[in-house]
Amino acid sequence: MRDTTRILLSLLSVSFLLISFSSVGLSVSDSASTTVSWTIPVMQSLSVGSASTSSESDSSKTVTSLFETKGLEESDFDRGFVEQKDALTLNVWSNTAWVVTVQAESRYLADESNYKKSVEDLTIRSSEEEVQASTTSKPIASGNAGESEINIDYELNLTDEDQEHYQSEDLDYKVRLNYTITTD
Protein backbone atom coordinates (compact mmCIF):
# COMPACT_ATOMS: atom_id res chain seq x y z
CA MET A 1 0.00 0.00 0.00
CA ARG A 2 2.90 2.16 0.60
CA ASP A 3 3.94 1.90 -2.99
CA THR A 4 0.44 2.66 -4.09
CA THR A 5 0.31 5.70 -1.84
CA ARG A 6 3.66 6.83 -3.08
CA ILE A 7 2.55 6.46 -6.70
CA LEU A 8 -0.68 8.22 -5.93
CA LEU A 9 1.13 11.08 -4.21
CA SER A 10 3.57 11.31 -7.10
CA LEU A 11 0.72 11.44 -9.60
CA LEU A 12 -1.08 14.09 -7.57
CA SER A 13 2.09 16.17 -7.31
CA VAL A 14 2.76 15.96 -11.02
CA SER A 15 -0.91 16.82 -11.75
CA PHE A 16 -0.76 19.77 -9.38
CA LEU A 17 2.45 21.04 -11.00
CA LEU A 18 0.98 20.68 -14.49
CA ILE A 19 -2.17 22.53 -13.51
CA SER A 20 -0.15 25.27 -11.82
CA PHE A 21 2.17 25.79 -14.82
CA SER A 22 -0.63 25.68 -17.35
CA SER A 23 -2.74 28.22 -15.46
CA VAL A 24 0.29 30.50 -15.08
CA GLY A 25 0.98 30.19 -18.80
CA LEU A 26 -2.63 31.05 -19.71
CA SER A 27 -2.78 34.14 -17.54
CA VAL A 28 0.33 35.74 -19.03
CA SER A 29 -0.43 38.16 -21.85
CA ASP A 30 1.49 40.70 -23.84
CA SER A 31 0.02 43.64 -25.78
CA ALA A 32 1.09 46.88 -27.36
CA SER A 33 -0.69 49.77 -29.02
CA THR A 34 0.52 52.67 -31.09
CA THR A 35 -1.00 55.76 -32.67
CA VAL A 36 0.07 56.93 -36.10
CA SER A 37 -0.83 60.37 -37.42
CA TRP A 38 0.29 62.54 -40.30
CA THR A 39 -0.39 66.00 -41.66
CA ILE A 40 -1.13 66.61 -45.31
CA PRO A 41 0.13 70.06 -46.32
CA VAL A 42 -2.23 72.46 -48.07
CA MET A 43 -1.33 72.75 -51.74
CA GLN A 44 -2.94 75.43 -53.90
CA SER A 45 -2.26 77.03 -57.24
CA LEU A 46 -3.83 79.99 -59.02
CA SER A 47 -2.96 80.80 -62.63
CA VAL A 48 -4.26 82.85 -65.53
CA GLY A 49 -5.71 80.84 -68.38
CA SER A 50 -6.68 83.61 -70.80
CA ALA A 51 -4.30 84.97 -73.40
CA SER A 52 -6.19 88.27 -73.64
CA THR A 53 -5.09 89.50 -70.22
CA SER A 54 -1.56 90.08 -69.05
CA SER A 55 -0.41 88.53 -65.81
CA GLU A 56 2.77 88.79 -63.80
CA SER A 57 2.62 85.20 -62.52
CA ASP A 58 2.06 81.85 -64.17
CA SER A 59 1.25 79.76 -61.11
CA SER A 60 1.24 80.78 -57.47
CA LYS A 61 -1.07 81.82 -54.67
CA THR A 62 -1.43 85.36 -56.08
CA VAL A 63 -1.92 86.47 -59.67
CA THR A 64 -1.69 90.13 -60.67
CA SER A 65 -3.76 91.17 -63.66
CA LEU A 66 -4.04 94.53 -65.40
CA PHE A 67 -7.48 95.91 -66.18
CA GLU A 68 -7.41 98.73 -68.71
CA THR A 69 -9.61 100.48 -71.23
CA LYS A 70 -8.25 101.96 -74.43
CA GLY A 71 -10.09 103.80 -77.13
CA LEU A 72 -13.41 104.38 -75.42
CA GLU A 73 -16.07 105.64 -77.82
CA GLU A 74 -18.97 108.06 -77.57
CA SER A 75 -21.39 105.11 -77.47
CA ASP A 76 -19.65 103.73 -74.34
CA PHE A 77 -20.28 107.00 -72.53
CA ASP A 78 -23.85 107.21 -73.86
CA ARG A 79 -24.51 103.70 -72.52
CA GLY A 80 -22.94 104.69 -69.19
CA PHE A 81 -20.55 101.74 -68.97
CA VAL A 82 -18.04 99.64 -70.82
CA GLU A 83 -17.99 95.88 -70.32
CA GLN A 84 -15.35 93.22 -70.83
CA LYS A 85 -16.94 89.76 -70.83
CA ASP A 86 -14.65 86.81 -70.01
CA ALA A 87 -11.79 89.27 -69.63
CA LEU A 88 -9.86 86.86 -67.43
CA THR A 89 -9.92 83.14 -66.74
CA LEU A 90 -8.44 81.96 -63.45
CA ASN A 91 -7.43 78.32 -63.08
CA VAL A 92 -7.61 77.01 -59.51
CA TRP A 93 -6.12 73.82 -58.14
CA SER A 94 -6.37 72.99 -54.43
CA ASN A 95 -6.36 69.93 -52.20
CA THR A 96 -8.72 71.65 -49.72
CA ALA A 97 -11.66 74.07 -49.73
CA TRP A 98 -10.57 77.46 -51.09
CA VAL A 99 -11.53 81.11 -51.56
CA VAL A 100 -10.23 83.50 -54.25
CA THR A 101 -10.18 87.18 -53.29
CA VAL A 102 -9.54 90.27 -55.40
CA GLN A 103 -7.88 93.50 -54.33
CA ALA A 104 -6.98 96.63 -56.33
CA GLU A 105 -3.47 98.05 -55.93
CA SER A 106 -4.67 101.66 -56.29
CA ARG A 107 -7.71 103.71 -55.22
CA TYR A 108 -7.92 105.30 -58.66
CA LEU A 109 -8.33 104.14 -62.25
CA ALA A 110 -6.99 107.33 -63.82
CA ASP A 111 -4.05 108.25 -61.66
CA GLU A 112 -1.74 109.86 -64.21
CA SER A 113 -3.78 113.07 -64.56
CA ASN A 114 -5.53 115.64 -62.40
CA TYR A 115 -8.72 113.61 -62.68
CA LYS A 116 -9.11 110.84 -60.09
CA LYS A 117 -11.62 108.17 -61.12
CA SER A 118 -12.42 105.91 -58.18
CA VAL A 119 -11.57 102.22 -58.53
CA GLU A 120 -15.00 101.52 -56.99
CA ASP A 121 -16.52 102.43 -60.38
CA LEU A 122 -15.19 99.07 -61.58
CA THR A 123 -17.38 96.00 -61.00
CA ILE A 124 -15.70 92.59 -60.98
CA ARG A 125 -17.98 89.64 -61.64
CA SER A 126 -17.64 85.85 -61.48
CA SER A 127 -20.43 83.28 -61.76
CA GLU A 128 -20.69 83.40 -57.94
CA GLU A 129 -20.05 86.98 -56.87
CA GLU A 130 -20.19 90.58 -58.04
CA VAL A 131 -18.02 93.06 -56.14
CA GLN A 132 -16.92 96.65 -56.50
CA ALA A 133 -13.14 96.92 -56.90
CA SER A 134 -11.46 98.11 -53.72
CA THR A 135 -8.08 98.31 -52.03
CA THR A 136 -9.63 95.95 -49.48
CA SER A 137 -9.57 92.25 -50.33
CA LYS A 138 -13.02 90.85 -51.28
CA PRO A 139 -14.07 87.25 -52.06
CA ILE A 140 -14.94 86.65 -55.70
CA ALA A 141 -15.19 82.81 -55.83
CA SER A 142 -14.92 79.71 -53.63
CA GLY A 143 -14.96 75.96 -53.99
CA ASN A 144 -13.93 72.55 -52.74
CA ALA A 145 -10.79 70.53 -53.35
CA GLY A 146 -10.01 69.87 -57.00
CA GLU A 147 -9.65 71.90 -60.18
CA SER A 148 -11.85 74.85 -61.10
CA GLU A 149 -12.02 77.50 -63.77
CA ILE A 150 -13.30 80.99 -62.91
CA ASN A 151 -14.32 83.39 -65.67
CA ILE A 152 -14.09 87.05 -64.70
CA ASP A 153 -16.05 89.92 -66.29
CA TYR A 154 -15.37 93.62 -65.78
CA GLU A 155 -17.83 96.49 -66.03
CA LEU A 156 -16.69 100.10 -65.69
CA ASN A 157 -19.33 102.74 -64.95
CA LEU A 158 -18.87 105.91 -67.02
CA THR A 159 -20.27 109.36 -66.26
CA ASP A 160 -20.52 112.65 -68.16
CA GLU A 161 -17.64 113.94 -66.02
CA ASP A 162 -15.57 110.90 -67.07
CA GLN A 163 -16.28 111.73 -70.72
CA GLU A 164 -15.13 115.34 -70.34
CA HIS A 165 -11.82 114.34 -68.75
CA TYR A 166 -11.30 111.36 -71.02
CA GLN A 167 -11.56 113.44 -74.17
CA SER A 168 -9.59 116.45 -72.91
CA GLU A 169 -6.74 114.49 -71.28
CA ASP A 170 -6.63 111.42 -73.53
CA LEU A 171 -6.88 109.07 -70.54
CA ASP A 172 -6.77 105.30 -70.34
CA TYR A 173 -8.42 103.85 -67.28
CA LYS A 174 -6.34 101.09 -65.72
CA VAL A 175 -5.63 99.37 -62.44
CA ARG A 176 -3.70 96.31 -61.28
CA LEU A 177 -5.85 93.68 -59.56
CA ASN A 178 -4.41 91.01 -57.28
CA TYR A 179 -6.29 87.70 -57.17
CA THR A 180 -5.26 85.52 -54.21
CA ILE A 181 -6.19 81.96 -53.26
CA THR A 182 -6.49 80.99 -49.57
CA THR A 183 -8.01 78.12 -47.61
CA ASP A 184 -11.68 78.37 -46.73
Give the pLDDT confidence of 105-157 residue by residue, as tens digits.
999 986 566 778 899 999 999 998 999 999 999 999 999 999 999 999 999 99
SS3 of 183, please? Answer: strand
Hey, which residues does 143 pair with through a beta bridge? Answer: 98
Arch. (CATH architecture) of 44-183: Sandwich (2.60)
Domain boundaries defined on the chain: 44-183
How far apart, in whole angstroms, are the C-alpha atoms of residue 97 and residue 148? 11
CB count, 10 Å around CB of 17? 10
Task: Give the pLDDT confidence score for residue 56 in this predicted structure.
Answer: 43
**pLDDT, tens digit, 9 for 90 and up, residues 20-44:** 555 555 555 677 788 888 888 888 8
Number of helices (H), then strands (E), belonging to the chain: the values are: 3, 9
pTM of structure = 0.72
CB count, 10 Å around CB of 179? 27
Reply yes or no on whether the pLDDT at 84 is more than 60. yes
Q: Kindly report the CA angle at 64 between 59 and 65, in degrees rounded to 5?
A: 110
